[in-house]
Amino acid sequence: MTRRNYGQGRRLGYAGARALMEHYGAHDHYATRRAHGARFRVFAAWLRVEYGIRDARRIERRHVEAYGEHLSGLVEAGQMAISYAQNRLSTVNRVLEILRGDRKLHISPAACVGRRCQVRTERPEVDPAQVEAAVERLQRAGHARATCLVLLCRAFGMRLREAALADLDRLVGEAERTGKVRILEGTKGGRHSDDRVIEVGERQWAALRTALQHRPSGSRNLLRPTETWRVFLHTIVAPARGLLSGCGIVSFRELRAAFAVELYERESGQPAPFEGPPLDAEADERARWAVARQLGHGRVVIASAYIGGRR
């Protein structure tokens, strides 16, 4: 019978490092072994917390897929770059392949967390009918808070985490007083700016009203007062992804991209650049800055990931 961790030690993280050393050699490929080892220890810790697994023999494909879902949630929340999430999954694939001697648990990092693409080349496939279908499907499935996430991300161009943690009372108050709101909570890296101001129209009001209706009792946002972000990702976000995909919306990030394209075309008066070269370079530059600012980015070059590059 195969020994614990395939004979590489009692602790899973150590077993991964030892397997890497045997595979690559004790004195070769130091940087590769160190990077894989560090990332696999993170996976081992996650397995221990989520499933109580300390032995590689107990790891099944569903565990690796669940880890991919976890990383995808972090990417969509703006807490992790797609490239790093892919690296984390690639490490899991590689180390498990070395430990087991097969590729039966291998999953595609690109399919799980998205492809690395710095410049968007196609219009986001998110039209009003798809959003409406997704909302109806989520409501029928009893995922009211996920419905709120969809509407907030589309209406305000929020990241997933921003939509979940937004202070709804503050947003409503600002909207009533000024007709505009600032995006302050849940921002990437804790960065927020008073320059990130979104005008509130009927779509935004509809999203706010729905969120107020379905937020948990005693909370100012979409999380219950005692709910952690990790639990929220597992119980609310993860089940919603499959339903969104069934409506043709590949991720929450596509909702944000649709907001960006709409903003660009309104500000510039011309189609988004992936439709063809911009007709007016000055209007293109102005609209790119508007997109970068309202999405919470400090660099205009980031706009290309949402509306296409300059040609």
User: How would you write the pLDDT of the chain (311 residues) with one tens digit per residue?
Assistant: 578 999 999 999 999 999 999 998 887 888 889 999 999 999 999 999 989 999 999 999 999 988 988 888 888 777 788 889 999 999 999 999 999 999 999 998 887 876 655 566 667 778 888 999 999 999 999 999 999 999 999 999 999 999 999 999 999 999 999 999 999 998 876 666 677 899 999 999 999 999 999 999 999 999 999 999 888 988 999 889 888 888 888 888 889 989 998 998 899 898 888 767 777 888 888 888 888 888 887 777 777 777 776 65
Which of 15, 3, 63, 10 is closest to 40 using CA atoms?
Answer: 15
CB 214 within 8 Å of CB 147: yes
Residues 6+ apart with CB under 8 A from 204: 155, 156, 175, 181, 198
Polymer length of the chain = 311
CA dihedral 149, 68, 188, 255 (to 10 degrees): -40
Q: Torsion-angle region of residue 190: left (phi > 0), alpha (psi -120 to 50) or beta? A: left
